[in-house]
Amino acid sequence: MQGKKDQGGPIRKGPWKAEEDEVLLTHVNKYGPRDWSSIRSKGLLQRTGKSCRLRWVNKLRPNLKNGCKFTAEEERVVIELQAQYGNKWAKIALHLPGRTDNDVKNFWSSRQKRLARILQTSPSTTTPCSSTKSHKKNKNISIKVPTFHHLVPALEAPKFSSSSEEESSLKAHQSCSSISLIENSAAIKMVPLPDPMNSKPLNSYTNMVKQEFTTPFESYASTDLSSEIAFPQVFPFSMEGQDLLDRTSEPSNFIDGFGSLDIASELGIGAQIPIGLPFFEPSGNCNIGTRDSIGNPTNPDSFFDDFPEDMFDDMQPPPSPSEL
């Protein structure tokens, strides 16, 4: 960039070559992960110390899960910790063996971007879809996403497959979403499953879920969420894809739609909303194949069925549950 040459010559930027990695690894093996600046000053590489360190930390360090998608469990941990620590990626990464802060950061960033896009496509009034991927799929439909999302928090939202090994992670969301949605429809009336990972530092989270998981409204009322939830944050439920959006065009299906943990996760409000613990497969095998009894649009627990669709249009911040 700037004529910062000197010691090791002009600074090289951009993608690392295998030879550079080798040199860097040699250095680390010799002196340990430190003295990054000396790498350049010794003329070993035309990289800044910072760059060397970053390369090692993010790619060359042993035991990294390079190339592996975030598992459902990792995803959940991120969500939980992000809600707890905020954007302290390095801190969060400490809880995820093999993951770097950069990994976590990128992962979260992707989610946020997706959420942002979805938000734009979820107007509270009938609006034609327009440009994003979701839009494309909904091309000619008018999505009417009711603004009653504040009700959602109380709804159980198991995210069965979602990410995890398989294609999952985020990209797979597009495919998983529809599945989880379907499964969610059943989950809504499910009884909380035992916490699959109670040994994790997610106790508060899981306990909360268990506690909350009575009936949507009961739980909602019992925790007085109306006073806890930052509404603006709650509103835009991430519908993990067009499927969700599609479904949300109908109140009864809408419920099915926001079943996923991502609702909170993508909003970064995992700790604020008693989103149910996702019931994904423990071993992170997002077997999308488990899309058994799919396409069951009739959700017996779609309590919104009784509501006139337009009643949500002008919905204001969350009324107390009793008002519902």
Identify the DSSP state of 197.
Answer: T
Per CB under 7 A, 36 contacts DNA: yes
Residue 248 CB, shortest distance to DNA, in Å, is 16
Q: How far is CA 93 from CA 75, 87, 100, 168, 262, in A?
A: 11, 11, 5, 20, 19
Per CB under 7 A, 102 contacts DNA: yes
Per CB under 7 A, 124 contacts DNA: no
- The burial of 173, by beta-carbon neighbours within 10 Å (0-12 exposed, 13-18 middle, 19 or more buried), is given as buried
Per CB under 7 A, 114 contacts DNA: yes
- 280, 286 contact by CB (below 8 A): yes
- Rank residues 66 and 296 by Cβ distance to DNA and give the closer one: 66
Per CB under 7 A, 195 contacts DNA: no
Residue 314 CB, shortest distance to DNA, in Å, is 28
Per CB under 7 A, 247 contacts DNA: no
Residue 119 CB, shortest distance to DNA, in Å, is 12
Helix (H, G, I), strand (E, B) or coil at 128: strand
Q: How far is CA 56 from CA 86, 179, 253, in A?
A: 25, 38, 48
Region from 73-81, 97-105, 140-148, 211-219 binding DNA, contact rule CB under 7 A: 97-105
Region from 126-134, 194-202, 263-271, 284-292 binding DNA, contact rule CB under 7 A: 126-134
Per CB under 7 A, 254 contacts DNA: no
Per CB under 7 A, 103 contacts DNA: yes
Angle (nearest 5°) at CA 114 between 132 and 168: 110
Give the contact letters, 155-194, x = binds to DNA (CB under 7 A), - = no. Answer: --------------xxx-xxx-------------------
Region from 131-139, 176-184, 187-195, 274-282 binding DNA, contact rule CB under 7 A: 131-139
Identify the DSSP state of 212.
Answer: H
Instruction: Give the residue, chosen from 23, 25, 44, 90, that forms a contact with DNA under the rule CB under 7 A.
Output: 90
Residue among 152, 107, 160 at smallest CA distance from 275: 152
Going 242 to 244 to 249 to 253, the CA torsion angle's sign is positive
Task: Quote the distance between the C-alpha of residue 90 and its chain's center.
Answer: 18
Distance CA 77, CA 181 (A): 21
- Rank residues 208 and 239 by Cβ distance to DNA and give the closer one: 239
- Rank residues 89 and 279 by Cβ distance to DNA and give the closer one: 89
Per CB under 7 A, 134 contacts DNA: yes
Residue among 79, 112, 105, 75 at smallest CA distance from 271: 79
Instruction: Give the residue, chosen from 59, 95, 200, 291, that forms a contact with DNA under the rule CB under 7 A.
Output: 59
Instruction: Give the residue, chosen from 87, 214, 215, 222, that forms a contact with DNA under the rule CB under 7 A.
Output: 87
Of residues 1-20, those binding DNA (CB under 7 A): 1, 12-16
Look at the block and give the residue holding tokens 């093999």: 98
Residue among 231, 251, 271 at smallest CA distance from 83: 271
Residue 209 CB, shortest distance to DNA, in Å, is 25
**CB within 8 Å of 257: residues ≥ 6 apart:** 181, 184, 237, 239, 243, 244, 245, 247, 248
Q: What is the largest CA-CA distance in the chain?
A: 74
Per CB under 7 A, 125 contacts DNA: no
Residue numbers of the site for DNA (CB under 7 A)? 1, 12-16, 33-37, 41, 47-51, 53-55, 58-59, 66-69, 87-91, 101-103, 105-107, 109-110, 113-114, 117, 131-137, 139, 169-171, 173-175, 242
